[in-house]
Amino acid sequence: MNDFGPDMTSKNAVLLIILDGWGYSNNIEGNAIKQAKTLHWDRLTTQCPNTLITASGEHVGLPKDQAGNSEVGHIHIGAGRLIQQDLQRINTSIESGHFKTITQTQTLFRKIRKQGRTLHLIGLLSEGGVHSHINHLLALIEVANEAQCPTHIHAILDGRDTPPSSAKQDLINLERYIENKTYVKLTTLSGRFWAMDRDCRWERTQQAYNILTNPSPQTFNAIQALEQSYQHNLTDEFVNPVALNEAHPISSEDTVLCFNFRADRMHQLLQALGQERFDHFERPIQPIQSLYTMTPFPNSPPHTQALFKHEQHIMTLGEVLEMNQLKQLRIAETEKYAHVTFFMDGGQKANYSMMDTLLIPSPKVKTYDQTPEMSLKTLNQKLIEALQTSEYDLIIANFSNADMVGHTGKIAQTIEAIECIDQALGELIPIIQRTHTHCIITADHGNAESMGTPEHPITSHSNNLVPFVYVGPDEYRCASKKSLSDIAPTVLSLLDCPIPQAMTGKSILIPIS
């Protein structure tokens, strides 16, 4: 597709579009992308240089066959090299036995026991490996029980990165594991819809907070509570916060340890538990001073301590642009704003002088199958305006619809979301051509192409390959066997910008002479 006229601009900018959750599969059944009417996408993938790249497992620093996710995907897109992820780092620590010897943990648990206080383990009970892993909880339980540290587990149920009604077996396994652990109790349950909101729906966070700090214990156990929720058609993600028969309120003098390793969906609850200045709702207890996380959480209360430190990622894509005085824009809806900023910059807050950011508020709905378009029209219009200014050397945009609607398991609505994306691309293409922009369209992981059936929906990510498409004024072909780590070097090559040694990825685009 070479509809690019004479180049009237002084520079060729790069537009990097990340279609969140847009994987590749030949299957038709359960594939919202294949079933959607995608006139513009079909044209791009038949007329433009394109290939498929890896976005899961060892290719992005995860365990073998582990599906990718938005955090990991954006980290690798920005880093331009392979980064061992927190999931794998913690797994390795547990497998080697090092986890049991972490001085900070040993000292903390002994201190709690000596003071007669309680350890509260809060996190996502899941084998999904996206925000947490159940094995990390089991390792903490083992160490705490050996230290004779009174421990209460507050389990957040998944059903989003795992099958919608899979928590029952996880709870059975957990209760068996703690059956002979004298010092450990399972005390509350909550669906992640409540406890892990990241969209400032503080009324949801309040429901989870209240069950932790001011519970009304019920007479039933965890399995009974879950089955009661299922009877009301509430799957794991949406289980109402409930205190079980052995629940006791968290005291401000207790210790809270969040065993999620990913920050973005826990910062609201942790702020409610530990932030000194907090005005989102009334709190019955004083802020908790002894607050811990598995890895550093940037928006948590300042006194929060982490068991595992973040590895510093230098020379990310954004940093290289800043060093070369190239101007950049990051744009996304609320749901993916942290990904195009914090995670794209290697898991750190970067305040580059040559970088602008634009957050487009996502619709205030319970689940995005209610508004498959989300706020894409507004985002796309802002994107078009930014391209037409010729102000930026690089624009990074995230289209979140395929992932956010795909997570609902509603294939008809996800098809609608895909068609909204296709329409947005159709509106962008003439602007890309008119401005002689180099455009890369790719994805961070799969989801919408592998959704199961209406009877057995799949709401989690896939480990499928993802697309890489080049739309631009120059002639290229695509190299094979590439991954997300090769995107940053590709962008820098298009900008004629030196690629730092720290980036071990190679450009996906090969010039045709």
For the chain, how long is the longest CA-to-CA vector? 76
Centre a 10 Å sphere on the Cβ of residue 512 and count the other Cβ atoms it contains: 9
Continuous segment of H or E residues that includes residue 16: strand 14-19
Question: How far is residue 96's CA from residue 81's CA, in Å, rounded to a whole number?
Answer: 25
Q: Are strands 482-483 and 50-54 parallel, antiparallel or unpaired?
A: parallel
Give yes or no for a contact between 78 and 348, defined as CB atoms under 8 angstroms apart.
no
Give yes or no for a contact between 56 and 23, defined as CB atoms under 8 angstroms apart.
no
Active site residue 70: yes
Question: How far is residue 458's CA from residue 411's CA, in Å, rounded to a whole number?
Answer: 10
Pick left, alpha or beta for residue 496 (phi over 0 → left; psi -120 to 50 → alpha; otherwise beta).
left
Q: What is the DSSP string of 246-288?
A: T--PPPTTSEEEE--S--TTTHHHHHHHH-SS--SS--SSPPP
Question: How far is residue 314's CA from residue 317's CA, in Å, rounded to a whole number?
Answer: 9
Question: How far is residue 239's CA from residue 4's CA, in Å, rounded to a whole number?
Answer: 53
Q: Which residues contact 394 (CB under 8 A, 6 or more apart)?
A: 13, 14, 15, 16, 317, 321, 326, 327, 328, 329, 491, 495
Question: How far is residue 179's CA from residue 182's CA, in Å, rounded to a whole number?
Answer: 8
Centre a 10 Å sphere on the Cβ of residue 202 and count the other Cβ atoms it contains: 17
Centre a 10 Å sphere on the Cβ of residue 504 and count the other Cβ atoms it contains: 14
Of the candidates 10, 25, 56, 70, the residue annotated as catalytic is 70
Question: How far is residue 411's CA from residue 125's CA, in Å, rounded to a whole number?
Answer: 26
Q: Are strands 151-157 and 476-478 parallel, antiparallel or unpaired?
A: unpaired
Give yes or no for a contact between 293 and 90, defined as CB atoms under 8 angstroms apart.
no
Nearest CA to 374 among 362, 360, 361, 358?
362
Q: Which residues are catalytic?
A: 70
